[in-house]
Structure 1
């Protein structure tokens, strides 16, 4: 079995149990992902305090929610396990934007999905502007914990006109 066979095998299995996995706090790294206050976050800062008189070294984590951009903080002993979200990143070709703000996206395999809304703020504004001016765009979709959203756009250079 090649690694491609493994990927497709796991992509179709969605039991819901594999939303997160445990990782020792001391093994977490900046720019990695962690669950803070029940939300999937990207670690933007972390520091470790020295071992106290009675205990373990503590790790102070600062993370930004990957969907809402809200900041979360947590402190945990370095030997404890933290939940880490399974984060999946996928690029889709943008086909259309509906009148009610939903994106029509096509995967590499040709599957069409129309269940994601135009992102809010600057990203959504530039996505609409670029699309309206006729650019071929790829939307990067981040998926974790049964949530997904477009987090980035780029010009599709694979298409030759």
Structure 2
């Protein structure tokens, strides 16, 4: 029974498209990882068919992936969402308290750690927050994973 539910949940979080529809900046599921497409090149294959080579970066693991697909091949694309929250607090361990536009508060996310590729981003968030600047924090979500990916200063209206 749980296998069916797991497949149902995954189906809601992904959809199929033709490889010919993939574009740079778009998303694709490679080796089970939600990825952003960094480069997309079309070429003729040895048998005369058209292929597309995709170079992508994992959204949550920052690993590089490359795959060559026939243009008519179906590929899985993750549903990726982006949500902005107001930053309320940062704990010493990097846990953040965020408030959604509707007033809901969440405290289940952490800033990227200091050893990740986003270390300088984390330092910038901490410095801006400690300087008393109101900040909006962007969170990217896909396939049950979430990560803080952006920061913008909130300006008075």
Q: TM-score range by the shorter chain?
A: 0.7 to 0.9
Match of 1:116 among 109, 132, 139: 109
Q: Which residue of 2 aligns with 1:66?
A: 59
**1:83 and 2:83 are equivalent in the alignment:** no
Match of 2:98 among 73, 98, 105: 105
**1:96 and 2:89 are equivalent in the alignment:** yes
Please provide the CA RMSD for this pair: 1.6
1:81-117 deviation line (CA, Å, top 9, x unaligned): 1100100000000000123221000000000000001
Any stretches of 5+ residues in structure 1 without a counterpart? 1-13
SS in 2 for 1:91: strand
Q: CA deviation at 1:51?
A: 4.5
Contact 1:56 1:79 survives alignment (8 Å) = no
SS in 1 for 2:25: coil
Q: Which residue of 2 aligns with 1:11?
A: none
**Larger mean Cα displacement after TM superposition, 15-24 or 112-121:** 15-24
Q: CA deviation at 1:58?
A: 1.4
Change over 3 Å in CA distance of 1:15–1:37 after alignment to 2: closer
Any stretches of 5+ residues in structure 2 without a counterpart? 1-7, 114-118
Q: Which residue of 2 aligns with 1:144?
A: 142
Contact 1:142 1:148 survives alignment (8 Å) = yes
Q: CA deviation at 1:127?
A: 0.5
Q: Distance in 1 between matches of 2:140 and 2:76?
A: 18
Aligned residue pairs total 145
Q: Which residue of 2 aligns with 1:18?
A: 12
Question: If the length of structure 1 is used for normalisation, what is the TM-score?
Answer: 0.84
Contact 1:25 1:59 survives alignment (8 Å) = yes
Moved beyond 2 Å, runs of 4+: 14-17
Q: Distance in 2 between matches of 1:43 and 1:79?
A: 18
Question: If the length of structure 2 is used for normalisation, what is the TM-score?
Answer: 0.86
